[in-house]
Amino acid sequence: MARVDVSRYQTFGDITERLDDIVAQVRDKDVSLERSLDLFDEAIALGSKAVSLVDATDFSPEEEARLVEEHRSAQGGADDAEGEGGAAEKGGDPEATAPDEE
């Protein structure tokens, strides 16, 4: 397996655009298995490049604080969505709503 050159992709936008293109190509029924595997190798290399970009990113304290706050907000929304409709939130006893296990 030859090493795939992804050096021309320098931003997440570039990487995402190329990955979208790869997905479209792989979904094409006329693409050979060999070409699909080559595209898969390129996608893996692009993913590694994206990880490298994240690792090399230096955030200012303000950017870091904003990202942490956005993450907390997103997690809060996810927690609310998971809890909706639960017996405990409706004031019921969760044990009482479980089927009998005899």
Tell me if 93 is assigned to some domain: no
Contact 83, 89 (CB under 8 A): yes
Whether residue 13 contacts residue 50, with contact meaning beta carbons closer than 8 Å, is answered with no
pLDDT of residue 23: 95
Contact 12, 50 (CB under 8 A): yes
Is residue 70 assigned to a domain? yes
Distance CA(91)–CA(83), nearest Å, equals: 13
Q: How many domains does the chain have?
A: 1
Q: Is residue 4 part of a domain?
A: no
Residue 91 domain-assigned?
no
pLDDT of residue 79: 53
Local confidence pLDDT in tens for the 102 residues of the chain:
568 888 899 888 899 999 999 999 999 989 999 999 999 999 999 999 999 888 887 778 888 888 889 889 988 865 554 455 444 444 444 444 445 544
**Integer Cα distance of 54 and 48 in angstroms:** 10
Is 59 a domain residue? yes
The model carries a pTM of 0.55
32 in a structural domain: yes
Q: Which domain holds residue 52?
A: 12-83
Backbone angle region of 57, left / alpha / beta, with phi > 0 → left and psi within -120 to 50 → alpha: beta
